[in-house]
Structures are given as structure tokens and as C-alpha cells.
């Protein structure tokens, strides 16, 4: 009989529940996204996020059970995101999971959201009938995080489950990569979230392969970062876009026109493109190239430093097409295996939380009855 874990995730703006068998087979995965609600504010508003989690948590869990064809009594354990994330948002999931575990008399497992993102890649690999070779380097890149870890397998005393250990190799010194996408999109009047729109606009304008330097190009200084060479920085590229716009006031009317268009509701890249000049398309292409280069070069440097042949990439920004292309190209050159999750597993979901909970459960981890949300929870040792 399989071991079925109900995973619960509420760390940011997605209320999610999923049932996963033996840490690898997804029986159901339900995500209630709040993106439409936060869109008009251009980012996640914490108080609104908590309120929406409260509204959605019960129906989302019920739907996950229904889709899995199970009732509460069929569950073997409950896994919940303890952190990192927004305090009020995390509290909704943690409080609900604690109450449920108590009522059902089932074990409760606290999961680090970042460990969940690592498991998202492993779930996807399993779906494709693959098992990534470990140790690996894992890049977690989303709106809230840009982190590099070394992931090693831990002995789980003969169990079939995989247990993992994490060593933090580097992280962003300022903005997360997804945050930079969102901020640049806001500056340019491209809506929220910015990543998917810039992904599509940049791709459609990068047909020549050579980018303008000078007039239409961004002026970047070299990225100098004190400390670890595996740390990231994205505030420079974001500020470069800001300065570019200050210097090129002729772009102001088209930005206003896009904002006016967005005031009527969400706009697709196809709808926004006719409102973008060549200069703007070049600008987003340049911005994206710079961000992708930063992510890819440091990830491969980490793989080389750790002498590993596998890189896992997870988090919302992992959906980016240019990023995937760049990783794949470099991987071919360096004989490294790259694993990405599917789109639904790369953004926040609860299947990855249930999968991580299974690994923790197999290693004997159980949450205390006094479990509390931890907005600053860290993963692994430095």
C-alpha cells in the first residue's frame, strides 16, 4: 500500500493542496492563484494574501481529496509549508494543517518551501521515468528567491524514500530574479507578473542574435559582488533600465499608452506588442539576456566548484524560455544534465510540499504540536 501525504502550501499568493503517494506519484494537485487580485497593485499585498488563503484553504483541500478519490481517513500524514514566506500567509496553512492533523490523529510534517522546490524537479523527472544523478546543484529562482544549493543524498536506513541534505552555495544580495522581472515590467507599463510577458516580448524581438549596444542598448557596469562568487545581484540591471528610461523620455508616451490599456484588464504579450517600439523590445531583450547570463553562469560555476554533473532548476522563473535555452546550450557543451519542472510544478504548488514531506517523514522528522510558521526559515548550512 502506498503512503499518501496531503501537502498544504500557503507561503505567498497561491493556496495549494495536493495528495502525493510515496513521495513521487501525484494523485491530485490543486492551486488557487491570487494573481488576478494582486495584479492591480503590481505585486503581492500581504494582508490581502492572508485573507484570500483563509477563504480558499478549506475548498482547495476538499477539491484535492476529491480529485484523488480519497477521504480524510485515507491519508497517512499531512505536510505543510512552515517557511520561508509571508508570516500571515504561512500562518493560515500551518494553523489549518495542525488542526487537521490533530483531528485526524495523523502525523504532521513541517516542510521548508525551498526544499519543496527541489522536489518539484524530482517529481517531474519521475514523471518522465528519470532519476537525476546526485549530488547536484539546484538553482531556485522565483519572485521571492534566487538561491544556489548543493543537494546530496542522505542515507534513509534502507527505506525506498530519498532523503536529502542541502548546502547553501550562494544567493541574491538584493532583488530576486523574478522580482527584477516584475519591477522592470512595472517601469515599462507591461503589467504583472512581468516574467511571462517579458519572456514573450523579448523572444519575439531577439531575431537577429546581435543586440544593439549604445543608443538602444542598456549601459551596464560589470556586476561586482563582494563575497561569494556564487552570489547574485539584480538591482544593477533593474537600475540600468530605470536610468535608460530617464535618459530616453521619448519612451514615456508609449509606457503611458500601455498603462492605459492595462487599466481595462489583463493584456497578453500579443496585445501589448503593437504598443511597444523597437527600442522597448530591444530593452527587454537586453534586460533578459543580462538576467539569464547571471543565472546560468553562476549555476555552472557552482557545478564546477562542487564537481557535479547535474543541475536542477526550479521556481517560477524556471519557466523562462531564454533561460531554458541558455541552460540547455551550456549543458551540451559541458556534458551536464539539466532538469526543469513543468510549468505547473515550477510555480508554487503543494505536490512539491507533499513530496518533500515524504522524504522528511522517511528520515523520522515529525513536527511538534506547537509548530509555528517561520517566515525566515533557512535551508541547509552555509
Whichever of 225 and 317 has its CB closer to ligand KG4, that residue is 317
| Site for ligand KG4, residues 310 to 339, rule: CB under 6 A | 315-317, 319-320
What is the per-residue binding string for Zn ion in 115-144, x denoting contact by CB under 5 A? Answer: ---------------------------x--
Q: Using the rule CB under 6 A, which residue among 144, 189, 191, 380 binds ligand KG4?
A: 144
Whichever of 144 and 236 has its CB closer to ligand KG4, that residue is 144
In the complex, minimum distance from the CB of residue 138 to Zn ion, in angstroms, rounded to a whole number: 13
* 52 near ligand KG4, rule: CB under 6 A: no
* 348 near ligand KG4, rule: CB under 6 A: yes
List CB contacts of 226: < 8 A, sequence separation 6 or more: none
In a 3-state reduction of DSSP, which class is residue 14?
Answer: strand
What is the per-residue binding string for ligand KG4 in 100-139, x denoting contact by CB under 6 A? Answer: ----------------------------------------
What is the per-residue binding string for Zn ion in 139-158, x denoting contact by CB under 5 A? Answer: ---x----------------
CB 321: neighbour CB atoms within 10 A?
14
Residues 201 and 271: beta-carbon distance below 8 Å: no
> Could you give the CA distance from residue 140 to residue 152 in angstroms, rounded to a whole number?
16
Strand order in the sheet with 25-33: 25-33, 14-21, 4-9, 77-83, 108-112
Whichever of 86 and 218 has its CB closer to ligand KG4, that residue is 86
Residues 139 and 295: beta-carbon distance below 8 Å: yes
DSSP symbols for 196-215: HHHHHHHHHH--SS----ST
- What is the CA angle 203-207-210, rounded to 5? 105
Q: Using the rule CB under 6 A, which residue among 93, 196, 236, 341 binds ligand KG4?
A: 196
| Site for ligand KG4, residues 175 to 194, rule: CB under 6 A | 178, 181-182, 193-194
> Could you give the CA distance from residue 64 to residue 208 in angstroms, rounded to a whole number?
46
Residues 301 and 229: beta-carbon distance below 8 Å: yes
Count of residues binding Zn ion (CB under 5 A)? 2
Contact residues: ligand KG4, CB under 6 A: 12, 142-144, 178, 181-182, 193-196, 199, 315-317, 319-320, 347-348
Amino acid at each position: 500500500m502506498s503512503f499518501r501525504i496531503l501537502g498544504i502550501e500557503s507561503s505567498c499568493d497561491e493556496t495549494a493542496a495536493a495528495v502525493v503517494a510515496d513521495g513521487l506519484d501525484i494523485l491530485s494537485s490543486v492551486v488557487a492563484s491570487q494573481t488576478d487580485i494582486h495584479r492591480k497593485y503590481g505585486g503581492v499585498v500581504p494582508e490581502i494574501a492572508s485573507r484570500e488563503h483563509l477563504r480558499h484553504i478549506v475548498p482547495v483541500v476538499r477539491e484535492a481529496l476529491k480529485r484523488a478519490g480519497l477521504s480524510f481517513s485515507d491519508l497517512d500524514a499531512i505536510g505543510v509549508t512552515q517557511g520561508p514566506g509571508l508570516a500571515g500567509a504561512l500562518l493560515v496553512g500551518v494553523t489549518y494543517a495542525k488542526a487537521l492533523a490533530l483531528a485526524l490523529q495523523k502525523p504532521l510534517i513541517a516542510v521548508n518551501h525551498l526544499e519543496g522546490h527541489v522536489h518539484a524537479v524530482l517529481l517531474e523527472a519521475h514523471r518522465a521515468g528519470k532519476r537525476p544523478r546526485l549530488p547536484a546543484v539546484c538553482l531556485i529562482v522565483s519572485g521571492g528567491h534566487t538561491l544556489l544549493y548543493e543537494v546530496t543524498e542522505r542515507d534513509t536506513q534502507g527505506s525506498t524514500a530519498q532523503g536529502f541534505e542541502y548546502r547553501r552555495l550562494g544567493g541574491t544580495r538584493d532583488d530576486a530574479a523574478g522580482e527584477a522581472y516584475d519591477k522592470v515590467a512595472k517601469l515599462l507599463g507591461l503589467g504583472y507578473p512581468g516574467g511571462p510577458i517579458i519572456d514573450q516580448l523579448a523572444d519575439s524581438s531577439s531575431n537577429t542574435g546581435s543586440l544593439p549596444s549604445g543608443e538602444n542598448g542598456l549601459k551596464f557596469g560589470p556586476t561586482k559582488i563582494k563575497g561569494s562568487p556564487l552570489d547574485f545581484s539584480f538591482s544593477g540591471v533593474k537600475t540600468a533600465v530605470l536610468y535608460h528610461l530617464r535618459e530616453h523620455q521619448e519612451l514615456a508616451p508609449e509606457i503611458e499608452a500601455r498603462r492605459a490599456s492595462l487599466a481595462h484588464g489583463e493584456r497578453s504579450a500579443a496585445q501589448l506588442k503593437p504598443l511597444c517600439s523597437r527600442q522597448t523590445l530591444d530593452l527587454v531583450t537586453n534586460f533578459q539576456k543580462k538576467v539569464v547570463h547571471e543565472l546560468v553562469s553562476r549555476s555552472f560555476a557552482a557545478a564546477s566548484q562542487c564537481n557535479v554533473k547535474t543541475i536542477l532548476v526550479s521556481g517560477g522563473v524556471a519557466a523562462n524560455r531564454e533561460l531554458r535555452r541558455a541552460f540547455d546550450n551550456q549543458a551540451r557543451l559541458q556534458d551536464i544534465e539539466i532538469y526543469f519542472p513543468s510549468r505547473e510544478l515550477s510555480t508554487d504548488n503543494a505536490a512539491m510540499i507533499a513530496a518533500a514531506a515524504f522524504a522528511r517523514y522517511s528520515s523520522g522528522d515529525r513536527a511538534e504540536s506547537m509548530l509555528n510558521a517561520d517566515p525566515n526559515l533557512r535551508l541547509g548550512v552555509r
